[in-house]
């Protein structure tokens, strides 16, 4: 028996030796070497909400920006520390008081294979300001009067007035450059669907001329604009569109023609997982590699798991309780002030957000340029709240509704506010709406009170105040309080036109004082952004102060 066992061992050794003979082994080719030296893979990111649209001009929400930022590149690149650098533009300068010159990169390619040129820049910026498009982001670019094509890779951007923060605005995700070819297709489809016998080029000429004929065409095609761009997005970013299943996921794939630093990922899938617990469970089991919007109640769970990491970032976001000032009794400033005094911000931060944030003194976060550190916010004072309400027509209290989306922490904050306002005999009914419906209906002014957040994406006071409080921006653009104040309008206009930095700051400081006093919103807190990463699979995932997950430096285990 022993000799038989020895025979089997010898036989197995001979077979193994034959199988591993060098003559039978292929030399590693280029692809094999790449696989050995560069760990690559797919990434799945769990999102709380579905995107609104892949059209950069179709919405101004963070979730859509999260996906679109990988498809499109902007002229100016905003780094994770909010500093500005070269994007599709190699360099730029303010050539004159109302003219900026941009030198464009010459080696960039769109996903459809066409070369990036100045014509794409002109087509994109003309489109976002087109009345027919009715972009929610138009307020960021409305000062642009002309995009002048100097040559194939140079443009001059003319503005109505001197506008210092223009480069910051051009770094915004809604300024992502779309190929002119796709824009032409989009307009042509809209014209055809509306039954307008006109080519896209003829429409552009008509738009340049303006007048009643143009306005008539706008009315006919506005409902059809955007369908092509939304369904077939075409940018120069490191990821290109593969597929979308509304309400479920968006799949992007690596763009082989990307001209930029090397990326390690192949496909990136954005999955909609609304429930926080389910999203964290998927992270822990490896079903997703990144969990967006980790709430504070899940933060410790992510921290304590050996295979997951919490990545936290201070933000430029302000969460607020908004009032529709066009509806009674919120048209009375004392009612708004009373409610603002009745809310203990610190209790919400500690009780709902587990201290992942700081109290808001006003509408701007501390890291936003123009924030006034001397601004005195509203203090919690229930007695003062009762005194103010006693001076109104609803001194005995009233019934109202508070609208929220499906974010659990927002819901918890609403329940807290509901309890505090009951001490003023204000009976609050909380109504929860799906995100897209929430944005649409608050944009239409159907609400009374609402909880929402605003992220100052450009890190400049113009973006943090103009959209939310200028009377030109009532509704979906940002001013969902439908607030109007001529003095505030004048200050915000001065702030965006003034070239002297001290004068700009003073304008914004005065505006913030009025906004705290008149309380079109109760400014609550500035939360920290947090994501969960499964570090057994990926590393070096980052999040910026805007709340955007950055994949540029991702590595795989």
Instruction: Look at 27-31, 58-62, 243-247, 261-265 and tell me which has the smallest mean pLDDT.
Output: 27-31
Task: DSSP for 429-476, please give it.
Answer: EEEE--HHHHHHHHHTT--SEEEEEEE-TTSBHIIIIIHHH-GGGBTT
Residue 222 maps to a domain = yes
- Which residue carries 């204000």 as its tokens? 426
Task: DSSP for 213-260, please give it.
Answer: HHHHHHHHHTTTTTHHHHHS---SSSEEEEEEETTTEEEEEE-TT--S
| 362, 375 Cβ separation under 8 angstroms | yes
Average pLDDT rounded to a whole number, residues 227-256: 96
Residue 17 maps to a domain = no
Task: List the CATH number of the domain containing 244.
Answer: 3.40.190.10
350-384: pLDDT as tens digits? 999 999 999 999 999 999 999 999 999 999 999 99
Last residue of a domain, one of 213, 230, 247: 230
Domain carrying residue 486:
317-527
Dihedral of the alpha carbons of 188, 193, 196, 201, in degrees to the nearest 10 = 0
Q: Where are the alpha helices (DSSP H) in 242-373?
A: 276-285, 296-304, 333-341, 345-351
3-state secondary structure 473-517: HECCCCECCCCCCHHHHHHHHHHHHCCCHHHHHHHHHHHHHHHHH
Average pLDDT rounded to a whole number, residues 480-485: 97
Last residue of a domain, one of 179, 196, 230: 230
The yes-or-no verdict on residue 296 having pLDDT over 90 is no
Enumerate the β-bridge partners of residue 94. 100
Residue 13 maps to a domain = no
From 379, 385, 388, select the one nearest 346 (Cα to Cα). Answer: 379
Residue 197 maps to a domain = yes
**Mean per-residue pLDDT over the chain, rounded:** 91
If asked whether residues 324 and 310 sit together in one domain, one would say: no
If asked whether residues 359 and 273 sit together in one domain, one would say: no
Residue 430 maps to a domain = yes
pLDDT for residue 39: 62
The yes-or-no verdict on residue 13 having pLDDT over 70 is no
Task: List the CATH number of the domain containing 102.
Answer: 3.90.76.10
Query: Sheet containing 154-159: which strands, arranged edge to edge?
Result: 89-96, 99-104, 154-159, 144-151
The yes-or-no verdict on residue 312 having pLDDT over 50 is yes
pLDDT for residue 407: 84
Residue 379 maps to a domain = yes
Average pLDDT rounded to a whole number, residues 336-344: 98
Residue 488 maps to a domain = yes
If asked whether residues 445 and 503 sit together in one domain, one would say: yes
124-137: pLDDT as tens digits? 999 999 999 999 89
| The total number of structural domains that make up the chain | 3
Higher-scoring residue by pLDDT: 55, 96: 55
The yes-or-no verdict on residue 408 having pLDDT over 90 is no
If asked whether residues 331 and 367 sit together in one domain, one would say: yes
517-538: pLDDT as tens digits? 999 999 999 999 999 999 999 9
From 216, 227, 233, 130, select the one nearest 181 (Cα to Cα). Answer: 233
Average pLDDT rounded to a whole number, residues 378-399: 97
181-205: pLDDT as tens digits? 999 999 999 999 999 999 999 999 9
Average pLDDT rounded to a whole number, residues 278-294: 96
Task: List the CATH number of the domain containing 390.
Answer: 3.10.105.10
pLDDT for residue 99: 96
pLDDT for residue 81: 86
Contacts of 80 (CB under 8 A, 6+ apart): 542, 544, 550
Average pLDDT rounded to a whole number, residues 418-444: 94
Last residue of a domain, one of 230, 264, 297: 230
If asked whether residues 449 and 351 sit together in one domain, one would say: yes
The yes-or-no verdict on residue 322 having pLDDT over 50 is yes
Kindly report the pTM of this predicted structure.
Answer: 0.80
The yes-or-no verdict on residue 330 having pLDDT over 90 is yes
If asked whether residues 114 and 260 sit together in one domain, one would say: no
Confidence grade of residue 24 (pLDDT, cut at 50, 70, 90): very low
If asked whether residues 149 and 221 sit together in one domain, one would say: yes
If asked whether residues 334 and 471 sit together in one domain, one would say: yes
If asked whether residues 221 and 259 sit together in one domain, one would say: no
pLDDT for residue 176: 98
Average pLDDT rounded to a whole number, residues 5-23: 38
Residue 1 maps to a domain = no
C-alpha 303/C-alpha 532 separation (Å) is 9
Measure CA 302 to chain center.
24
Confidence grade of residue 475 (pLDDT, cut at 50, 70, 90): very high
486, exposed or middle or buried, with CB in 10 Å at 0-12, 13-18, 19+?
exposed
If asked whether residues 275 and 352 sit together in one domain, one would say: no
If asked whether residues 474 and 512 sit together in one domain, one would say: yes
The three-state secondary structure class of 412 is: helix
If asked whether residues 310 and 403 sit together in one domain, one would say: no
The three-state secondary structure class of 294 is: coil
Instruction: Look at 122-126, 209-213, 428-432, 460-464 and tell me which has the smallest mean pLDDT.
Output: 209-213
């Amino acid at each position: 028996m022993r000799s038989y066992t020895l025979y089997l061992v010898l036989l197995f050794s001979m077979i193994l030796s034959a199988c591993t003979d060098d003559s039978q082994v292929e030399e590693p080719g280029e692809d094999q070497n790449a696989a050995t030296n560069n760990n690559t893979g797919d990434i799945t990111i769990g999102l709380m909400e579905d995107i609104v649209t892949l059209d950069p001009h179709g919405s101004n929400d963070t979730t859509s920006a999260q996906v679109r930022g990988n498809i499109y590149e902007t002229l100016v690149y905003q780094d994770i520390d909010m500093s500005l650098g070269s994007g599709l533009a190699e360099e730029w300068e303010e050539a004159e008081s109302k003219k900026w010159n941009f030198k464009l990169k010459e080696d960039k390619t769109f996903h459809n294979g066409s070369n990036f040129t100045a014509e794409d820049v002109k087509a994109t910026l003309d489109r976002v300001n087109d009345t027919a498009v009715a972009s929610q982001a138009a307020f960021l670019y409305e000062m642009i009067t002309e995009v002048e094509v100097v040559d194939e890779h140079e443009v001059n951007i003319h503005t109505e007035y001197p506008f210092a923060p223009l480069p910051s605005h051009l770094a915004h995700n809604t300024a992502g450059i779309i190929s002119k070819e796709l824009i032409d297709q989009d307009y042509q489809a809209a014209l055809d669907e509306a039954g307008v016998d006109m080519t896209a080029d003829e429409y552009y000429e008509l738009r340049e001329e303006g007048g009643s004929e143009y306005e008539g065409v706008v009315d006919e095609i506005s409902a059809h604009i955007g369908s092509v761009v939304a369904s077939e997005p075409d940018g120069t970013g490191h990821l290109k569109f593969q597929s979308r299943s509304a309400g479920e996921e968006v799949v992007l794939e690596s763009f082989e023609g990307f001209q930029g630093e090397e990326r390690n990922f192949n496909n990136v899938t954005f999955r909609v997982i609304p429930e926080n617990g389910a999203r964290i469970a998927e992270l822990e089991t490896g079903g997703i590699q990144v969990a967006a919007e980790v709430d504070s109640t899940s933060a410790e769970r992510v921290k304590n798991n050996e295979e997951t990491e919490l990545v936290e970032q201070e933000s430029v976001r302000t969460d607020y309780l908004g009032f529709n000032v066009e509806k009674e009794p919120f048209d009375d400033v004392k009612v708004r002030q009373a409610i603002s005094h009745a809310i203990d911000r610190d209790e919400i931060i500690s009780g709902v957000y587990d201290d992942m944030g700081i109290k808001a003194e006003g509408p701007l976060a501390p890291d936003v340029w123009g924030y006034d550190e001397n601004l005195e916010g509203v203090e919690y004072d229930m007695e003062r709240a009762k005194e103010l309400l006693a001076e109104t027509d609803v001194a005995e209290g009233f019934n109202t509704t508070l609208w929220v989306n499906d974010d659990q922490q927002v819901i918890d904050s609403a329940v807290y506010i509901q309890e505090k306002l009951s001490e003023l005999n204000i009976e609050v009914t909380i109504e929860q709406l799906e995100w897209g419906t929430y944005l649409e209906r608050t944009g239409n002014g159907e609400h009374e009170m609402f909880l929402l957040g605003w992220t100052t994406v450009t890190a400049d006071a113009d973006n943090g105040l103009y959209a939310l409080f200028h009377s030109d921006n009532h509704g979906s653009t940002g001013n969902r309080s439908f607030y109007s104040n001529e003095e505030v309008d004048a200050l915000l206009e001065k702030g965006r036109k003034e070239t002297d930095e001290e004068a700009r700051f003073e304008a914004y400081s005065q505006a913030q004082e009025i906004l705290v006093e008149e309380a079109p919103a109760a400014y609550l807190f500035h939360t920290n952004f947090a994501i969960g990463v499964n570090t057994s699979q990926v590393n070096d995932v980052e999040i910026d102060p805007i709340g955007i997950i950055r994949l540029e430096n991702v590595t795989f285990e």
